[in-house]
Structure 1
Amino acid sequence: MSGGFDPLHPRELDLPTRVPLDVDLATGDAAIALDDAKIFAAPADVADIDRWRTQLTAWRNGARRRHGEPARYDDPASAWASRCFTVAQLWLWDELFFDFEAQRFTPERFLADARERFGGLDGVVLWHAYPVIGIDERNQWDFYDVPGLADVAAELRAAGVAVFLDYNPWDTGTRRAGGDADELASTVRRLSADGVFLDTLKKADPELVAALDQARPGIGLEGESKLATERIADHTLSWAQWFADSEVPGVLRARWFERRHMQHHIRRWHRDHAAELRSAWLNGVGIMVWEVVFGAWVGWNSRDAATLRRMLPVQRGFHRWLVEGEWTPLNVLDGAVAGSTFERDGVTLLLLANTSNVDAVYRPVGTGWSALHAGDTADTVTVPAGGIAAAVQVADGVTVPDELGAAQAALASETAENDASFSHRTSRRLAPPRWDGPVALIESAPISSTTTAPVTVPTGEYTLTVRFRMRETGMYDGAPYVDEWKPLPPRLHDQRTLDRSVIVAQPVQIAAAEVSEAEYARFLDAIGEVADARDPDRPAANVTFTRAREYAAWAGGRLPTEDEWQLAAVQPGFTRRTPEVWNWTESEHSDGRTRFVILKGGSAHRSEGSDWYFDGGVKPADFSAKLLLPGLGQDASPSIGFRICREDTP
């Protein structure tokens, strides 16, 4: 809790907006105030529902006069965005998306998992730089300069999945090249991206919009959180992030203003997504699936994944009803069941949501109904606890649409599930791979070119205090902000400590200094790679984690663990080469989706200007930094070097 704010509860600005029922909402201050709503709250009294709908329509008509008709949606090149119901926020090096052993991208594996668990994806945001950016001078565009990434983007698009890039406007403290608009437009063209996610921005500046329109006609711009009503015209998508709803799900303001505008509900730290799913369902909008939140596992439970599988065939199949049909919000209020209808050409789509924790049965009024979900009938529809259901009514004399049979077929095996338990993932330390190359040094040879003797860490049991900056990566296990609404600075980036119980089973000799450039050059010569003349005093940097491990094995040793490094660093004789660099440690971890390595020591480099950057500056021995591990050589950095150690066996 920071400054009186409870992170487990919505802020005042996140709460739904009550719709006044007795004032003119076509003009005036009350109407303008509603322009700023996130969600129009459902009326507290069911008797007010008709007046509430009338007021919503009055507001929309007035808002259209104030802000103009959003003509961008009439452009066929922009139409794809209104069909983008599921988007995954994807860390580029997610182990479902990248095979670290083979060092290749595996989009087919990621998409297959999404089809099985969620019903497939319509888009992915390729998240690339944060939380690694800032460790050196590389800017956000450099982190998209990845071998084969353009081919991966093409493969995703060929599978019918839109590709979004991530734009970080806060990245001002790394190397400068061109302006952001030019750099982003160039990256969009190079990767043939469909859309751009505007990280930390609600909307893009008009100049950026114009540059991106030139790069890719029909490009979708998706702001984070609430989008201003006047900018719905040039942003075809937006996040519904941190949108608290009324008990009976209300109406999304941006969707009500423009039916073709796509929103994605997202509460990134929540383990229960039922409320987001119900709101998305009744409003005809989408969901953001985000399971790896910058290295922290916040996976979806089985119940919510099943709900999404029950939603998507209806949303995709009845897309025209959702964007063109006559939308009557909250046309059904029956106990815990709320429903909205979308009518088009004599065919009515009824979407139902259950806000209670027990199954509810709804009996549609009238004739001509067909159930969509398995087990339901024309007379009774079971709406699962906390979940959703649907039915379609075809008026007399109207041809049954093909979409009905297609949706029923797609939903034939999609039943609701009750398991809302959270599936934890525990990271485990990975052993270094076997080194099959030559070994250069015998066991008694020195492990550093410095004249200082190695530092010995004796056997024993130790309790180590580790200091770190939390960030959204967390540390070793679990999400750092479980079920929090919105963690805010300074809590979002606060300094924390943890104690580690460590057993050193046998003495370890750790090099007094990092491997030098000259020492590393001899290794490159030994394995047949060309090495330039190197400085014997500067630390070897720009060395990948894999190469650092290989050097250590070649030299007859290994990398020290983060605990061994910390124990050695407080002893006499432990030194740092200059310029100071972070040290790789033998601490590669994986939870099956994210790999990370603990870095020690800090570096001379510091990226200034944003708390989102990686930790910079020289650090005390007890400070640890969690680095999410990229592949394809992207982990090599001028800010990271290494030292080696050997176990001092008798």
Structure 2
Amino acid sequence: MPGGIPGLRSMVADFHRRGVRVFFPVVIWDRGTRDEGGSFSDASMTLLHEIGADGINFDTLDTVPDANRKAGERLSPPIAFEPQFDPQNASLADSAISWSDWVLWDDLKWPFVPRVSRVKWLEPRHATLMTDRYARFKINSLQTAFLNGAGYVLIENIWGFWNGFSERDAEAVRRFTRIERAFSGLMVSRDWEPLVPVLQSGVYASRFPGKDRVVWTLANRNDYAVDGEQIALPVRPGARYYDLWRGRALHPEVRDGQVVLRFSMEALGFGAILEDQSGAPGPDLVSFLSAAAKDANRPLDSLSRATPFARQSMVPVAATPVWRGAVPDGMVRIPAADYDFRVNGIEIENGDDPGTDVQFDWETSPRRSHRHRVHIAPFLIDRTPVTNDAFRQFLQATGYHPKDDHNFLRDWKDGTYPAGWANRPVTWVSIEDARAYAHWAGKRLPHVWEWQYAAQGMDGRLYPWGNTWDASAVPPKDTSRTPHPPSEVSAFPAGASPFGVLDMEGNVAQWTDEFRDEHTRAAILRGGDYYRPAGSMWYFPKSDRLDEQEKYLLLSPGRDRSGMVGFRCVRDLSDAP
């Protein structure tokens, strides 16, 4: 990371000065890249201690690994542990906080009777958090969280795919969060009771008792409103009752030694009541009820259930000056065509939801699968990726140096590339670096469809050389912890495209178009680089197929640069005869 250990330590200290605790995720599944020279547990815990972190989240795990626990016990102050999922019983004592990421990926798997958090049941002080990141209508997880007195993680950006909350769901989160915060002491009551008896079918409730106050949270699982008598409680002398969801006092009916409360719950709605034996309402409760009453004038069902997605736009690419001379050395002329452009994104998750992958200018939403017949004017394309020596000439001619130079030309030393690397593709360049070179050369980066057409021709082949995989046409795959450098350009002539373009697959990935929405930036990489670390499916997905593309999230030039990413350029020709 920029700044290394001192930079991270300074960042953590800055949060601490503001009273904010800091925890980091540990990608426990990453076993195929960096070797720490010792045990993973010792290395991770030592690093967290060095930067002053307060806690650690064990991504993908439902238990704290024994090795990490033992390593953490040797540290002072101790590190708080948090598994991603609902901790198993044996790990509960080691989990100071718990994410409780309940994996129910679609509404069909949510039972009608809401589930009870085992962690919250065994240790009510646990800060259990609910999430349901792929569901579009999140009522199931929202009602489950409320009945468990749990928090809710609003994960809207998933691998760069924006799955926003509907107006109804977002408002439900705001309202029940206000209740949980106002009565936070009760939400961690050791005597909480889930699924207590109520009077209406399809309505469920939990009881959170304290010294002189009790809060009930309720959820109507029916897809219709439920009115009338909702719950019967023992008589408590001097108790007052309030509808916390609608912001009003309740006037109970005493019958057969019980207090019967009447109120309304809208379809798939929420409810909350307070029993208060502390006397007349204080200013805090009066203020709370006033705000809740104002919200009650706008029922949840009056709000849209539509789940928004973020529309994307392609970053415009200016045409180059039209080239009218002979084909320059190192470039290949690609003829005009009406090209059937077909490609799929290879994101690990997100299915076919709108918002996955990217949105081309002719599309109404981002999507995984793309097909469009596009007219492509003739153009020139570099026969190979830009080499280290060509990039050196650019630097010498322009004095270019990026403002954010973290990882810039990371393999170079003392301003030049290693001996013998002149004809290897230049890497550790951001898309901004590549554009600067292209502008100097009178060129530009290719559009995705131009790159694919130059690699595929008109017959829709899967690889530049045909439809059958040929390992001799590309550099060998590298699965080691420390990858070897890219192969020299032109070293694999058998991999040439129908137009004679080289290194279109299997050497380095190559920058093409950039896409933006109001939340994220991403670029499409083409070319399926040679490095494939082993150990997990969670590494950046790659493909050698010409009908598949890689969406690469852009954070900052310093973080975008990679030893596996280079580029090639194109130059525009006239479409006229």
TM-score (norm 2): 0.74
Partner of 2:289: 408
The correspondence for 1:251, drawn from 116, 134, 139, is 116
Partner of 2:424: 538
Give the paired residue count.
483
Instruction: Give the C-alpha shift of residue 612 in structure 1.
Output: 1.3
Instruction: Confirm or deny: 8 A CA contact 1:538 1:577 kept in the other structure.
Output: no
Distance 1:615 1:252, change over 3 A: closer
Instruction: Confirm or deny: 8 A CA contact 1:513 1:576 kept in the other structure.
Output: yes
Partner of 2:550: 625
Distance, in Å, in 2 between the alignment partners of 1:307 and 1:497 is 30
What secondary structure, in the 3-state scheme, does the structure 1 residue paired with 2:68 have?
Answer: helix
Letter in 2 for 1:358: Y
Partner of 2:210: 344
Partner of 1:609: 535
Distance, in Å, in 1 between the alignment partners of 2:310 and 2:550 is 20
Distance, in Å, in 2 between the alignment partners of 1:247 and 1:588 is 44
Distance, in Å, in 2 between the alignment partners of 1:544 and 1:447 is 28
**Cα deviation digits, residues 154-201 of structure 1 (max 9, x gap):** 666666665432211111111212432234234434554443221121
Partner of 2:375: 504
Alignment partner of 1:456 is 2:333: yes
The correspondence for 2:41, drawn from 159, 181, 190, is 181
Further displaced range: 183-192 or 456-465: 183-192
Instruction: Give the C-alpha shift of residue 406 in structure 1.
Output: 5.9
Distance, in Å, in 2 between the alignment partners of 1:297 and 1:144 is 30
Distance 1:497 1:563, change over 3 A: same
Distance, in Å, in 2 between the alignment partners of 1:384 and 1:144 is 53
The correspondence for 1:299, drawn from 120, 144, 164, is 164
The correspondence for 1:328, drawn from 186, 193, 212, is 193
Bigger RCO (CA 8 Å, 6+ sep): 1
Instruction: Confirm or deny: 8 A CA contact 1:455 1:571 kept in the other structure.
Output: no
Distance, in Å, in 1 between the alignment partners of 2:519 and 2:83 is 26
Taking only aligned residues, the RMSD between alpha carbons, in angstroms, comes to: 3.5
Unmatched 5+ stretches in structure 2: 252-261, 358-366, 402-413, 456-496
Letter in 1 for 2:241: W
Alignment partner of 1:198 is 2:81: no
What secondary structure, in the 3-state scheme, does the structure 2 residue paired with 1:464 have?
Answer: strand
Partner of 2:309: 424
The correspondence for 2:388, drawn from 503, 507, 517, is 517
Instruction: Confirm or deny: 8 A CA contact 1:596 1:626 kept in the other structure.
Output: yes
Unmatched 5+ stretches in structure 1: 1-141, 481-495
Distance 1:215 1:274, change over 3 A: farther
**Cα deviation digits, residues 212-248 of structure 1 (max 9, x gap):** 4555746442223342112111113132412555423
Instruction: Give the C-alpha shift of residue 344 in structure 1.
Output: 1.3
The correspondence for 2:273, drawn from 391, 396, 418, is 391
Instruction: Give the C-alpha shift of residue 267 in structure 1.
Output: 2.1
Distance 1:589 1:536, change over 3 A: same
What secondary structure, in the 3-state scheme, does the structure 2 residue paired with 1:607 have?
Answer: coil
Larger radius of gyration: 2
Further displaced range: 243-252 or 154-163: 154-163
**Cα deviation digits, residues 44-78 of structure 1 (max 9, x gap):** xxxxxxxxxxxxxxxxxxxxxxxxxxxxxxxxxxx
Instruction: Give the C-alpha shift of residue 500 in structure 1.
Output: 2.4
Instruction: Give the C-alpha shift of residue 152 in structure 1.
Output: 6.0
Letter in 1 for 2:431: F
Partner of 1:107: none
Partner of 2:103: 242
Distance, in Å, in 2 between the alignment partners of 1:359 and 1:218 is 50
Alignment partner of 1:554 is 2:419: no
**Cα deviation digits, residues 491-545 of structure 1 (max 9, x gap):** xxxxx99452242342111111111111111222233247723443111111011
Distance, in Å, in 1 between the alignment partners of 2:266 and 2:6 is 46
Alignment partner of 1:359 is 2:225: yes
What secondary structure, in the 3-state scheme, does the structure 2 residue paired with 1:393 have?
Answer: strand
Further displaced range: 621-630 or 252-261: 621-630
Distance, in Å, in 1 between the alignment partners of 2:2 and 2:352 is 23
Distance 1:191 1:446, change over 3 A: farther
Distance, in Å, in 2 between the alignment partners of 1:255 and 1:518 is 61
TM-score (norm 1): 0.66
Distance, in Å, in 2 between the alignment partners of 1:542 and 1:258 is 49
What secondary structure, in the 3-state scheme, does the structure 2 residue paired with 1:549 have?
Answer: helix
Distance, in Å, in 1 between the alignment partners of 2:535 and 2:502 is 30
Distance, in Å, in 1 between the alignment partners of 2:174 and 2:10 is 29
What secondary structure, in the 3-state scheme, does the structure 2 residue paired with 1:547 have?
Answer: helix
Instruction: Confirm or deny: 8 A CA contact 1:182 1:211 kept in the other structure.
Output: yes
Distance 1:636 1:477, change over 3 A: farther
Distance, in Å, in 1 between the alignment partners of 2:368 and 2:211 is 63
Letter in 1 for 2:555: P
Letter in 2 for 1:603: D
Partner of 1:312: 177
Query: Where in structure 2 are the equivalents of 1:569-584 lying within 5 Å?
Result: 569=455, 570-576=497-503, 580-584=507-511
What secondary structure, in the 3-state scheme, does the structure 1 residue paired with 2:223 have?
Answer: coil
Instruction: Confirm or deny: 8 A CA contact 1:465 1:497 kept in the other structure.
Output: no
The correspondence for 1:287, drawn from 148, 152, 155, is 152
Distance, in Å, in 2 between the alignment partners of 1:153 and 1:550 is 35
Partner of 2:397: 526
Distance 1:550 1:390, change over 3 A: same
Instruction: Give the C-alpha shift of residue 632 in structure 1.
Output: 4.2
**% same residue:** 28
